[in-house]
Amino acid sequence: MHDPLYLTFVLLFGLAFGSFFNVVIYRLPNGMSLLRPPSHCPKCDNLIKSYDNIPILSFLILRGKCRHCKASISWRYPAVEALTGVLAVVAIYHFGFTIKGIEAALLSLLFVPIFFIDMEHWIIPDSLDLPWILVGLALAFVSGGFVGWKGALIGAVVGGGLFFLIMQLGKVAFKKEAMGFGDVKFAAMLGAFLGGWKLLLIILLASFLGSVVGVTLIISSNKKGKPTYVPFGPFLVIAALISIYFGDSIIGAYLNLIRP
């Protein structure tokens, strides 16, 4: 789907969701209502008017400062809006207005709050993964989705079961929680949408990315004299995006490589 008009609509749709996701990222992990109170400046508590809440544009017009108290607005707000818009466009551009395109866009949008919340708070809220396991299974049952209902069911069971096993083994090996239950639920959700094979690819890619970043941080923290830890969820998000668009090619290339 390369029609500029449709893609512009998708971009605006994504930007609007990005604005909402900023609310989700800030309020959900803090146990706050997503609806009340209305959007306001966290410094001076003045309500943010609709014309000051236009994705990206308002940030540029206000030069990154509150209209009332001139407090700086975090770079995260326009970044989340832009990222959400781009991810929505990429999904529809790649798959078109198809079931796969809609599923790819839906997953990509969900990845945004999951990434930022887990990065900052080390949690993945239930509302961002548990109900979406059922949605992934339902879409696979009704329309086939990426892998069909059998593949989706197997993927959800394998994802949740494998990560639960890793979590338990981590507790035994390290005498502390090495992986949160949020990762278990998130893996089950990814499996429900993408199936078992792509889930295995996601795990491998995420583990590789996490290892590279982890080793870098260990070296850096040793120099500074304090340990540094990172959540696994953001690496799963990056690996899942790679798998959605390049997973079939990567898996196909690997199978061709090992065939006699």
- Residue type at 176? K
Beta-carbon count within 10 A of 91 CB: 26
End position of a domain, from candidates 97, 131, 151? 97
Instruction: Return d(Cα 134, Cα 167) in angstroms, integer.
Output: 22
Same domain assignment for residues 127 and 82:
no
6 and 128 fall within a common domain: no
The predicted structure's pLDDT at residue 168: 85
The whole-number pLDDT of residue 1 equals: 60
In terms of domains, do 241 and 188 share one? yes
Please indicate, yes or no, whether residues 128 and 4 belong to a single structural domain of this protein: no
The predicted structure's pLDDT at residue 192: 95
Residues 4 and 71 in one domain: yes
Overall number of domains in the chain: 2
Do residues 134 and 152 make contact, with C-beta atoms less than 8 angstroms apart?
A: no
Residue 117 lies in a domain: no
So what's the pLDDT on residue 3?
A: 82
Parent domain of 149: 122-260
CA proximity to 14, closest of 74, 83, 115, 76: 83
Single out the residue in 97, 114, 130 at which a domain terminates: 97
For residue 175, is it within any domain? Answer: yes
pLDDT score, position 209: 94
- 129 and 52 inside one domain: no
Q: What is the DSSP letter of 144?
A: -
Q: Are residues 6 and 53 in the same domain?
A: yes
Residues 49 and 173 in one domain: no
In a domain, 102, yes or no: no
| Domain-located, residue 105 | no
pLDDT, tens digit only, all 260 positions of the chain:
678 888 999 999 999 999 999 999 999 998 888 888 888 877 787 888 888 888 999 999 988 888 888 888 889 999 999 999 999 999 999 999 888 999 999 999 999 999 999 999 999 999 999 999 999 999 999 888 888 889 999 999 999 999 899 888 877 776 666 677 888 999 999 999 999 999 999 999 999 999 898 888 877 776 665 666 788 899 999 999 999 999 999 988 888 888 76
Q: 210 in a domain, yes or no?
A: yes
Q: Is residue 74 part of a domain?
A: yes
Cα Rg of the chain, angstroms: 20
Residues 71 and 143 occupy one common structural domain: no
Same-domain status, 161 and 205:
yes
215 and 140 both lie in a single domain: yes
Same domain, 50 and 162: no
- Is 60 domain-assigned? yes
Is 30 inside any structural domain? yes
Q: Closest Cα partner for 124 from 190, 172, 220?
A: 190
What secondary structure does DSSP assign to 31-100, as a single string?
T--SSSSPSB-TTT-PBPPGGG-STTHHHHHTTTB-TTT-PBPPTHHHHHHHHHHHHHHHHHHHH-SSHH
pTM, 2 dp: 0.90
